[in-house]
Structure 1
Amino acid sequence: MQERLIFNKAKMEIGQIIGATTLRGFRFVIKKGMEKHVKRDEFVIVNESVTNNKILGIIKDITISNELLPDEFGRDLRLGDIILNEGEYPVPTVKILGYECENGLELPRHGIKPGSSVKLADDNTLKRILRQEKDTSALIGTLSTRESVPVYVSVNDIVSRHCAILAMTGAGKSYTVGVLIEELLKKRGSVIVFDPHGEYKWIRLEGSVTRVYGVRGDHKIKVETSSLRSIDFINLIPDLTDAQRDLIDAVINLARKFYDKYDLKIVKEILSLIYDAKEGKEILTGSLPESEIKDLSKRVGLTTIGPTMRKIERLSRMGIFELEGTPLDEIVSGNQLTVIDLSDADERLSETIIAAISRRIFEARKAYVKDGEGNFNTPTFLVIEEAHNFAPRTMEERTILSKSILKKIAREGRKFGVGLCIVSQRPSRLDSDILSQCNTQIIMRIVNPSDQEYIRQSVESVTEDIVRDLPSLSRGEAIVVGAAINLPVTVRIRKRITEVGGEDVDIVGEWSKNAGGKGS
């Protein structure tokens, strides 16, 4: 508490610049007694030599040297037997961020004199630089080095210009997604989470609505069958032969041609008509031309039609693909979180649901914004958990259906009020175009070198020094960089106010509880 009061009262002198300086950085020695205030990611102030502008910098590294113990000394002596404090001094390295101007921070044009005083940046300076409009910003945490300095991000930029939340397993990315959802709901936003692990269905924020849909039980998500393309059906039924694929393609094209809307029942009826025609039976085609049914029957065999009918029946028993899908105004609504729980769905079904719903939302918003059609007037924010599975970097053995629509939303969603948040623990497996379109990055601990390098190459705002810091982040810490924040900073994510799902199981605790009195 005392330290916080000092920050607020005045800038504290902590050292003096030594050696050569550049317009990008400098080093300094620490004033005696100030060591406890000097740490990585702490902010400091120095004066520019000509203009006397106050330049903000951040400590990126600290080197401790001892002139009595050069590197060569260790070749001849066992250093573990020696204690030498004389001649030892820490030297922090500072990256220059710039001086305040109307448009934020601007890099200095004049030098900084060696010997200049280095002071801690006070809380008010940092709050002013990080300031966002209260009505349009979201509180995600505090500076990792200053609990007294809150960090806000611009909601408009997070949603309209997309964001990525990236972290290794266990670093706290789902927790961070929960914080962001809470903040968007406080703004009466519309958020849709595609949730492969069922982690978000417990979120309930007072004053807002949470709707949860799954693929089983009473609250199934429904997908309009006529919104699916032939490739969607082929993806859903993995064991199709080439002849069965061609048959499904022909049947879907026929249904599209003669029905405004159709369901799997109609698809099965068309297949049944083809089967009967193949057997030479009299057929009653209704609204379908008899000639087209008979023509199709001549191109396929009974051994193709029968198995295809059974596979469509299997799809029908899921109870997901219907004549009418879940109404969009139920899925998308202001002040509402909609969770699509995909924990009981396999990857093919999950891809199809993500693709179908995302496509409906995008097309509805596009029609409303561009042509004034419909009443779909609510901008919405799509959160894609495990995004590397639904928008992968490389072509898999098969087409990943969700990838194309997510790519389209990343490129064009901004114009139509459809935001995208991709969440992944394997950034190197993400599609680079989608990742590069996410203009705000919330990056937590990542130690995999290939993931680090891929982020650096794919995201313009992520610099080498940011990548170097990723392995040293603690659980619950994140580097926030990009359009939604005025300055790249390391943040300690705030505490959730809603229930947390998907936490690790206490393995030892469960063993002890279940063992009871055995062996005692």
Structure 2
Amino acid sequence: MAKTIGTVISNLDGPSTFRFDFVIKEDSGGIPAHKGQFIQVKTEEGLLIGRVDEIMKTNRYFMQAESVREFEKTGSPLNEMFPVDRWEYLVAKITPLGIYDSGLLKRVTYPPSPGVQVEEIDKKILTEFLGLDSNGLNIGKISFHDLDVKINLTKMFQKHLAILAMSGAGKSYLTSVMFEELLDRMDDLGKPSVIVIDPHGEYTGFAKDPEYGSKTKVYGKDDICIGISNLSPYQIMEFLPGMSPAQRRELTTIIQGMVKKKKPYTFKDLITEIEVSSTKRVIKDTMISWLMHLENSKLFKNSTKPDIKDLAKPGQLSIMDISDIVSQRDKQMLVTFFARKLFWMRTIGKIPPFILVVEEAHQFCPEGVRKEGALSRSIIETIAREGRKFHASLVLISQRPIQLSTTALSQCNTHIIMRVTNPYDLDHIGKSSEGVTNDVLKMIPGLRIGEALIVGEAVNYPLLIKVRGRKSKKSDKGINFEDALLNYNKSFKKKDEDMEAFM
């Protein structure tokens, strides 16, 4: 039998279908209700499920400021003159979320009656009400309920996911927990391929972890390149958005001619063909300049590495560590090529369903930036719009939501929001995240490290959780400032000792 924690009261604001209050029952064993807690109330429609949005403490002896002031002037506190403790009580303000009736969820269309008992919610009912899944990804616990948050895989990823938080709020930690759950998933439940664009090398620790190392592949700067001969004219021109229509037409003709020879070619070969062509000199010079710029990037070789089929394997975490690549343009070209290749091969069924995770997504899919500075935006927006049809899922992680493409962000039907304090980012989240009410939005700046709000497709109602502890090894690049200093001192000291031994 559910524990009673209070009684619905009547006041000027309700009870109504939008809000009602209850007086909290005294409990010598502890605090019976908390802000953010879920409750249940029996009504004519069924079991009403609500959330505690605020708790107020009141006392009739202290309601009139002038009376308190006059009594305090006598030199004796009110609690010595009157039984004030007997008149102190707590009132909880509730937002009704829905009606649970025989396993079905319905809207609230009739308010609870004053005097009805408010109860602690049954865990099984809460699980079904929120849409959690016993076979889902366990990313944390619901505060005050000791209930594992197990999110259904399809509901979380099929219509894409955005993880939004300021720097240091725990985005990478949460993402690592999510990777653990995906790698630990039972074979008979199905394992997706997970590909990570990692600009800072934050997830490379998975490769050194005894539990997850065999399921992880890390591709560093020297392991990633684009095969020139495999590039279509369109793909080359995607790297050079500033080309004029005339330049595009001439370059397409020359590349098609080289493809017919069925021999691998380099940018130098392509430049030579342009030189001997009948193209106007001014067009030649511009095209050669563009191609030399690409060649100087050192991203292009005779063949593509890694192979897309090696990159996208069921149950494998593939980390593209591009932290050693300095140029943002070069990073965007790599993301453009591999994201487009992954999506195309998924549309024709050559690779398994995959989850593409883009860290610092605002750098690869920025809002309000010209094409020259946003080479990878087009393909990321394409996957965001069309990926769900082909089970090509996208996870966008960003600390600056306002700088992230609105098109891409609006297609992410689930948002996991951690602490954000920037008012512009908060306003952007409020406008782009379904299910984020003003009450929920006010909670975001006050979230502690490791706390997160889940809203959207993955859960039936906005849910505040505490992210569980991670099991995997952290990357050396993700250590704190003090540890980095100690590591440097140790390595410097070792070099001095080695030098003395050599001398």
TM score, norm. by length of structure 2: 0.82
Q: Indicate the residue corresponding to 1:339 in structure 2.
A: 319
**Inter-partner Cα distance in structure 1 for 2:117 and 2:95:** 16
Match of 1:489 among 449, 463, 474: 463
Q: Which residue of 1 aligns with 2:151?
A: 153
CA offsets, 1:237-272, max 9 Å, x none?
xxx9x89x9768744551134416999953312323
Shift of 1:151: 0.9
Which amino acid in structure 1 is aligned with residue 235 of structure 2?
R
CA contact (8 A) 1:130 1:151 kept: no
* Distance of 1:261 and 1:425 partners within structure 2: 48
After superposition, residues 204-223 of structure 1 pair within 5 angstroms as: 204=207, 205-206=211-212, 209-216=215-222, 219-223=223-227
The residue type paired with residue 333 of structure 2 is T
- How far apart are residue 469 of structure 1 and its match? 1.4
CA deviation digits over 1:13-41, x for unaligned, max 9? 22222222111221122222266121111
Q: C-alpha displacement at 1:499, in angstroms?
A: 1.2
For residue 29 of structure 1, what is the aligned residue in structure 2?
A: 23
Aligned pairs for 1:185-334 within 5 A = 185-187=183-185, 188-204=191-207, 205-206=211-212, 209-216=215-222, 219-224=223-228, 226-227=231-232, 229-234=235-240, 250-251=250-251, 253-259=253-259, 265-275=265-275, 277=276, 293=277, 295-296=278-279, 298-299=281-282, 311-315=293-297, 318-334=298-314
Query: Corresponding residue for 2:177?
Result: 179
In structure 1, the partner of 2:499 is none
The aligned runs of 1:113-128 (5 Å cut-off) are 113-128=113-128
3-state SS of 2:449 partner: coil
Distance 1:223 1:83, change over 3 A: farther
Aligned to 1:358: 339
- SS at structure 2 position matched to 1:445: coil
Moved more, 397-406 or 386-395: 397-406
The Cα shift of 1:412 comes to 0.7
Q: 1:505 and 1:260, CA in 2 relative to 1: closer, same or farther beyond 3 A?
A: farther
Distance verdict in 2 for CA 1:470–1:310, change over 3 Å = closer
Q: Does the 8 A contact of 2:164 with 2:399 survive in 1? A: yes
2:424 aligned partner: 450
Question: Amino acid of the residue matched to residue 209 of structure 1?
Answer: K
Q: 1:415: which partner in 2? A: 389
- Correspondence 1:461 to 2:464: no
CA contact 2:433–2:455 (8 Å) conserved in 1: no
Between the two proteins, what is the percent identity of the paired residues?
Answer: 30
Q: Which amino acid aligns with 2:471?
A: I
Given that 1:261 and 1:323 are in contact with CA atoms closer than 8 Å, whether structure 2 keeps it comes out as: no
Residues of 1 paired with 2:108 and 2:206: CA distance? 46
Q: Which deviations, in whole Å up to 9, do the C-alpha atoms of 1:138-166 show, x marking residues without a partner?
A: 1111112222x111111012221111111
1:503 aligns with 2:478: yes
1:99 is the counterpart of 2:99: yes
Deviation at 1:102, TM superposition (A): 5.8
| Distance of 1:390 and 1:133 partners within structure 2 | 33
Q: Residue 220 of structure 1 aligns to which amino acid in structure 2?
A: I
**1:118/1:341 CA distance change after superposition, 3 Å:** same
Shift of 1:183: 1.5
Equivalences for residues 377-396 of structure 1 within 5 A: 377-396=351-370
Classify the secondary structure of the residue corresponding to 2:231: helix
Residues 226 and 256 in structure 1, CA contact (< 8 A), matched pair in contact too: no
Deviations 1:92-149 (A, max 9, x none): 11111222136653223222112222222133332343464444x21111112222x1
Distance 1:234 1:262 in 2: 24
Three-state SS of the structure 2 residue aligned to 1:151 is strand
Q: Is the 8 A contact 1:226 1:262 kept in 2?
A: no
Q: Distance in 2 between matches of 1:418 and 1:428?
A: 25
Q: Tell me what 1:4 maps to.
A: none
Which residue in 1 is equivalent to 2:4? 13
Contact map agreement 2:103 2:128 (CA 8 A) in 1: no
Query: What is the deviation of 1:59?
Result: 0.6
Letter in 2 for 1:425: Q
Q: Which residue of 2 aligns with 1:38?
A: 33
SS at match of 1:404: helix
Q: Deviations over 1:62-113 (max 9, x none)?
A: 123343434855997999x996662443321111122213665322322211
1:230–1:252 Cα contact (<8 Å) kept: no
Local SS of the residue matching 1:37? coil
- For 1:261 and 1:455, the matched residues in 2 are separated by 53
Could you list the runs of 5+ residues in structure 2 that have no partner in the other structure?
186-190, 494-503
Deviations 1:269-323 (A, max 9, x none): 2323554x5xxxxxxxxxxxxxxx1x12544577x687667545423xx254434
Shift of 1:222: 3.8
Aligned equivalents of 2:220 and 2:382: distance in 1?
25
Distance 1:387 1:97 in 2: 33
Distance 1:510 1:487, change over 3 A: same
CA contact (8 A) 1:24 1:95 kept: yes
Kindly indicate whether the alpha-carbon contact (under 8 Å) linking 2:205 and 2:474 is maintained by their aligned counterparts in 1. Answer: yes
Q: Deviations over 1:400-423 (max 9, x none)?
A: 111111111111101111000111
Q: Give CA-to-partner distance per residue, 1:191-232, whole Å, 9 cap, x none.
A: 00001110011114448521111223xx23445551463444
Residue of structure 1 aligned with 2:379, choices 399, 405, 409: 405
For 2:339, the aligned partner's letter is S
Structure 1 unaligned residues grouped into runs of 5+ = 1-9, 278-292, 369-375
Number of positions where the alignment pairs a residue of Structure 1 with one of Structure 2: 468
**Contact 2:224-2:305 at 8 Å conserved across structures:** no
Which segment drifts farther, 36-45 or 97-106?
97-106
Counterpart contact for 1:477–1:491, Cα < 8 Å:
yes
Distance in 1 (alpha carbons) for counterparts of 2:299 and 2:192: 30
Give the structure-1-normalised TM-score.
0.80
SS of structure 2 residue aligned to 1:478 = strand
1:340-359 superposed Cα distances (whole Å, 9 cap, x missing partner) = 11112221111111111111
